[in-house]
Amino acid sequence: MKIIKNPKREVWSQILKRPTQTVDDIEDIVNEIFIDVSKIGDEAVKRYTNKFDGISLESNSVTSEELNVAIKQVPDKLKNAIRKAKANIEAFHNAQKTSKIEIETTAGVQCWQEKRPIQKVGLYIPGGTAPLFSTVLMLAVPAQIAGCKDIVLCSPPNKEGKLAPEILFAAQLCGVTKIIKVGGIQAIAGLTFGTDSIPKVYKIFGPGNQFVTVAKQLATKYGVAIDMPAGPSELLVVADDTAIASYVASDLLSQAEHGTDSQVILVSTSEAIINDVSEEVNKQLAVLPRKAIAEKAIANSKLIYIETDEIALDMINEYGPEHFIICCKNEDLYVDGISNAGSVFIGNYTPESAGDYASGTNHTLPTNGFSKAYSGVNLDSFMKSMTFQKISKEGIFNIGETIELMAEAEGLQAHKNAVSIRLKDLKS
């Protein structure tokens, strides 16, 4: 990992640059696949699955027989671990429920807001080098709590044309209504347009590589909502002499092993910690099963020495990390001052892995600096807020003239008339 000392503010954007391609670099291929899927549906999906995943499937849908066989393959200990994680995720997301908000804004004018579930949602679950069955929990649990009617899961098949048994077990456990063996751009396109085998949905959720991220953004052009732009994983740790170097290194590597385009950063006010963490990273990296992947991610990552906590906080807010770990004596400064982060982990005994799996918070988070404007997935992500109003005779008398004056000032006579005709009847 490259060590950088006291970089000037004017170069922060350069040294904090993500190791990802720009949208322009990959938008052409995403557009091409979207056009094909919109025109020829499953035929295009099958062709691209063969091209990118190396498998030709007779059917994209997971059958009940496949589901039953897969569930039996998951060890009981792992099933229990998944159930425990699900219970914690349920508890946290159930706590996010809000009741109806009701107010009489003016005498006779009643306004209220209620939540309604998004009826049709698509969940994208990455496969590839690491089938993320934990993401099934993070997306399907709040979807089920919200009351979504159709919960469609897409995930890329392996070379045998199957999904990981753990993904199928988690999907069945969490009430997924349809499971599709399709991944990548073609999955997002299928959920966007609908095909004979893939239902069209109203909103798409889930992380993915850069191609999936761009595909999700393109889906919005066709009237489909998305949770957020969630691309390659990233982690920033801020640490001082109170941090434990081996813990910090393990956290950095936990994200580096996600993919070669992941990025991890250590910001520290202690040169000693930077040196110790650098040594620990090399030591722990050497024995990782996913060493080759983590090594490439580490090559894109940095150890940055900053003189003061205040300057470090400014830099972190400029970066806007997906995951942010605080291991500092002055943790309150960072907890109170962080404005841009997807999820925050506080103290030496709060590894980022806890949020990835079982603490209860959601791990589907904004990356690439989008935490400056986007929230991570939560219960409200699967719901819409709808407003209602009911106005009595007294109410229309109380606000009628206000509406008339404003509508007339905007030159919208029909708007004014909609009130005036009622007032005239009530006065007669």
| pLDDT recorded at residue 129 | 67
Name residues of the chain where pLDDT drops below 70: 20-23, 128-129
**222 assigned ligand-binding residue:** no
Per-residue pLDDT reduced to its tens digit, 248-295: 999 999 999 988 889 999 999 999 999 999 999 999 999 999 999 999
| pLDDT recorded at residue 392 | 98
Are 2-20+232-360 and 23-229 in the same CATH fold? yes
Q: Structure tokens of 11?
A: 């170069």
Per-residue pLDDT reduced to its tens digit, 359-409: 999 999 999 999 999 999 999 999 999 999 999 999 999 999 999 999 999
Closest CA to 281 of 239, 305, 251: 251
**363 assigned ligand-binding residue:** no
CA distance 247 to 221: 43
The upper half-sphere exposure of residue 97, i.e. CA atoms within 13 Å in the direction of its Cβ, equals 13
CA distance 137 to 427: 59
Tell me which residues are annotated as active site: 322-323
| pLDDT recorded at residue 348 | 97
- What is the CATH code of the structural domain delimited by 2-20+232-360? 3.40.50.1980
**323 assigned ligand-binding residue:** yes
**415 assigned ligand-binding residue:** yes
Phi, psi of 107 (to 5 degrees): -50, 120
| pLDDT recorded at residue 1 | 83
| pLDDT recorded at residue 130 | 72
| pLDDT recorded at residue 128 | 67
Q: Structure tokens of 362?
A: 């959601």
Domain spanning 392-427, CATH class: mainly alpha
CB 243 within 8 A of CB 259: no
Phi, psi of 411 (to 5 degrees): 75, 25
| pLDDT recorded at residue 119 | 98
CA distance 52 to 203: 24
**258 assigned ligand-binding residue:** yes
- What is the CATH code of the structural domain delimited by 23-229? 3.40.50.1980
CB proximity list for 10: less than 8 A, separation 6 or greater: none
| pLDDT recorded at residue 259 | 86
**233 assigned ligand-binding residue:** yes
| pLDDT recorded at residue 420 | 98
In the chain, where are the structural domains located? 2-20+232-360, 23-229, 392-427
Task: Supply the Cα-derived Rg of the chain in whole angstroms.
Answer: 25
